[in-house]
Structure 1
Amino acid sequence: MERALAVLTRIEDDVKKLKTTDVKKEEDLEYDLGLVMASDPNPLDHGAIRADRELYLHQLARDNCQLLINKLFELPKETKDDVTAVVLPPAQMRIPREKPVPKPKPLSKWEEYAKAKGITRNKKSKKVWDVELKRWVPRFGAKKAQAEREKNWVMEVPVNTDPNTDMFAQAAEKKRERVAKNELQRLRNIKRNMKVPTVGVTPKDVSKSSTSELTEAAALARRSTASLGQFSRKLPRDAPTKERGRRRQFGPSVGDTRGEVQGQLELLQTLGRRPAGGAVDAEKAANRVIHQEQRERAAGKADAKPKKGKKRWIPNTKKGEKQKKAIAKKAGKGKAGKGKKGKGR
């Protein structure tokens, strides 16, 4: 009897230590059950914080968690595989992503064709019924190959074929070709999506490749030697390509460091020439802009000059008459030119 009373007393003490699930607040919490989150708009009790901050924060966190759990228990529940869970509503707050949104995977050549033609992909079953073997056979995998060997234990030789031909080896060779063709097509899709030059994955029709792709492929092939293309022979009509992969040159780390000291001195002299405060010389900058514009204008005039063999149009003005006389004199058709020709005759 005494032992039972002691147990009851202990249970009552444990119950007293447990706090109630009914928590009261002046203002209700703001909930976002989709993210299992709650925010407390009530002001803090600064007196309790001064007395015992850790205890106050612990009680506050416990009460807010209890209110959030009470709200979760009010949501609709569903049971699946002997597990009961609540159905969370859609989230209200948008949380920024740590990483950018992944880009959609580009379509392959077949997927683009199927989309254009409206071909839909139907999900196929994993096993198919084999009429000859009278059983269900996997559509893919090792057991499929085993079933094919059982079914094709003998193969017919066509009429116009050598009777000594190994049909099994021929079938295996055709299968290897199909696998290689699929792999080549996969690499072509990767190349087309990544926009890399055609090197190692030759297209079916080279004429469909762009000039830039072929030029880039030729440059990469030339630089694939041990000397990085230094001794590669160029083609007669090979277009000049941009230098790629120029390596930085570093001075010696041990021994004579005079080159490094000289470089540092030149750098200090260059920094010393700059005006104080990093101010920009407006007059010098304007002169550079004017000089660049003059060069562009001169280049445009040079391109606009007529090529040899084409007649130049000259207006019928006084200035034009002077230009005609000057051109005729240069060509030997003027008065001086006629006199010389007459003497020669």
Structure 2
Amino acid sequence: MKIIVPMAGRGSRLRPHTLTTPKPLVKIAGKPIVHRLVEDLAAMSDEKLEEIAFVIGDFGEIVEKELVEIAESLGAKGTIYYQDEPLGTAHAILCAGDSMDGNIIVAFADTLFKADFAIDKFEDGIIYTQKVEDPSAFGVVKLDNDGIITDFVEKPSEFVSDQAIIGIYYFKEGEKLRDELQYLVDNNIMNDGEYQLTGALENLKAKGARLKPGTVDEWLDCGNKDAIVNTNQRYLTYIQDQELVHESAVLDNVVLISPVYVGENTVIKNAVVGPYVSVGKNTNIENSVVQNSIVQEDTDIRKVNIENSVVGNHVVYTGRSKDLSIGDFTSVRE
């Protein structure tokens, strides 16, 4: 089994945090979004995970090293590919064409999910979906009476289905998908100026591939500040039976309201923290109340009362009560 992770997008809706950190490396409950994604995907298959191929932009050597280490932590080879231009989903996946053979999972690194099932590796393809209230904002699949996908409809103006495509796909033969992606590029078949994955899926279906929907229990968005705070809350709920406070953390006169994640070498004094708070490593919190928030690494906050907030890395923040989103390397003092 191989996993292909296109992640070259800019993450503009999550700014200012993505100005300095690629969105898939923003941390949720102490781990990057992409790390949590590939962990969950690996758990869905009973086959050995051979390789994780990351398709990135110009993220730099430090990010590339971190991605390879994420793959290696799961016992897989980490491979880096580049998408130099934003030419659409099909183009992004095709950038990893050299890794597309045999059983593959394609997963876009801007969403997380929770599910309790194993991949049926004998299916030609599985398109993972989630039931939504307003299908007009999503790409959806239409099914026949046997539960086989007959159509892919992008943001339907009239109701055709409420099964939204969440950006996770399984293919029994990755090389067949690669060939259809290459066909789109070679013949310049574009939609709104981009090569779209749905075009390749339509071609696979027309050639006899049986594509079935797979449903997840919960689909977690990481697109903006409020969404990522909610995803952090849900993830902490999922993993609250694990040890979430690092043994090197120093807690002095602190009330922790579970679930709370506290990273290594963090110091918290005279504070109430939680519920649903993640605090990154090497961070200092004093004389504060922090609820339902993410505080990233190497940050110092004092005399604050924050809720529903994201505080970035290397932030100094003192003396305000807010619902906020503060990017990296920011100082705010009252």
- The normalised TM-score by structure 1 is 0.15
Return the index of the structure with the highest Cα Rg: 1
Higher relative contact order (CA 8 A, sep 6+): 2
- Structure with greater helix percent: 1
- Structure with greater strand percent: 2
- The normalised TM-score by structure 2 is 0.15
